[in-house]
């Protein structure tokens, strides 16, 4: 890059990113706005803005990392989900638009069931699901669980940034092994990509494999959590699992085998692809062990 005004830099960076992404102009704007610490609107309104030597060096370094395949959210340290911005690091999976269907479904259910306010977010990662639910449901009690201590540190940071740290408790553990029920709502965005598929995905170069690899058919962790629900989900409770597009029938079969007393179905996303496994427990079932909701303790 030989010029330092933002218009020339944007044009050059857009050209360089074109072979890598379908949105090179947008990505160039995001990177340059990040370096200048301004909004994209301000950036485009002031094409004459000159970069300092330090800013130019920073932009060049970020461009090189992006051209090497590193995801844009990791370069700028944040990403948007459900209208809010979340801190992200390579310790967590980057929030994706398809997960918003899970949040929309959970919020609609919570609105229709005002007496149901005990929830868990399993495989919380950045905390975007739990925090978004807390932001939209002021009296919701949430426990968010993840196996990764590094991911939980990011989630706790996000909870503080969004002002819900007092209403979302984060715990390191294995699914709901240490959870005392009953839980009214369980949300899970667990690793669901088959191991063999994960091995061939470019995303695994940068995003944590722990958050992607779901075992031989992608359903290992989902099956384990399904088995735990019988003693964790309250009568009339709801469980939501994000799944891979091709897992609709196999995930539904797993749910019906583990929880024959529950009503299970698969919901499609806007593209018509299977995306969400929805499980509702009947209101008349008895709950075992019948304990009150209490925090999940850190597994040691």
pLDDT band at 25; cut points 50, 70, 90? very high
How many whole angstroms separate alpha carbon 51 and alpha carbon 43?
12
Alpha carbon distances (Å) from 26 to 64, 75, 88, 252: 17, 14, 19, 38
Q: What is the pLDDT of residue 286?
A: 58
Residue range 29-51: mean pLDDT, rounded: 96
The helix/strand/coil state of 6 is helix
Q: What is the average pLDDT value for the chain, to the nearest integer?
A: 92
Residue with tokens 């609609």: 108
pLDDT at position 180: 72
When pLDDT is averaged across residues 205-211 and rounded to a whole number, the result is: 94
What is the distance between the alpha carbons of residues 227 and 266, in angstroms, rounded to a whole number? 18
Tell me the average pLDDT across 89-103: 97
Q: Tell me the domains of the chain and their CATH numbers.
A: 6-69 (1.10.8.10), 91-280 (3.40.50.150)
pLDDT at 94: 97
Q: Residue 3: its pLDDT value, please?
A: 67
Averaged pLDDT for residues 139-167: 96
Maximum C-alpha span of the chain = 71
Burial of 222 (0-12, 13-18, 19+ CB in 10 A): buried
- Three-class SS state of 20: coil
What average pLDDT does the segment 70-86 reach?
A: 98
Per-residue pLDDT at 123 exceeds 80: yes
């Amino acid at each position: 890059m030989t010029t330092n005004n933002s218009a020339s830099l944007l044009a050059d960076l857009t050209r360089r990113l074109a072979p890598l992404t379908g949105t090179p102009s947008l990505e160039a704007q995001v990177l340059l706005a990040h370096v200048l610490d301004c909004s994209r609107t301000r950036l485009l309104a002031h094409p004459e803005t000159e970069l300092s030597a330090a800013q130019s060096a920073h932009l060049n370094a970020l461009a090189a990392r992006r051209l090497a395949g590193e995801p844009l959210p990791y370069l700028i340290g944040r990403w948007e989900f459900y209208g809010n911005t979340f801190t992200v690091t390579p310790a967590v999976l980057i929030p994706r638009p398809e997960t918003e269907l899970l949040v929309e479904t959970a919020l609609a259910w919570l609105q229709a069931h005002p007496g149901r306010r005990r929830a868990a977010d399993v495989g919380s990662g950045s905390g975007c699901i739990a925090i978004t639910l807390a932001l939209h449901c002021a009296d919701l009690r949430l426990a968010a669980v993840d196996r990764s201590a590094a991911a939980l540190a990011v989630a706790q940071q996000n909870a503080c940034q969004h002002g819900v740290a007092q209403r979302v408790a984060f715990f390191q553990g294995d699914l709901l092994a240490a959870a005392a029920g009953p839980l009214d709502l369980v949300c899970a965005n667990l690793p669901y990509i088959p191991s063999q598929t994960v091995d061939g995905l470019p995303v695994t170069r940068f995003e944590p494999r722990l958050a992607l690899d779901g075992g031989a058919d992608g359903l290992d962790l989902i099956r384990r959590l399904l088995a735990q629900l019988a003693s964790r989900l309250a009568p009339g409770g709801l469980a939501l699992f994000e799944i891979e597009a091709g897992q609709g029938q196999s995930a539904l079969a797993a749910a019906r085998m583990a929880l024959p007393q529950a009503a299970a179905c698969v919901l499609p996303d806007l593209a018509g692809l299977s995306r969400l496994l929805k499980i509702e427990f009947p209101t008349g079932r008895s709950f075992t062990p019948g304990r009150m909701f209490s925090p999940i303790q850190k597994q040691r």
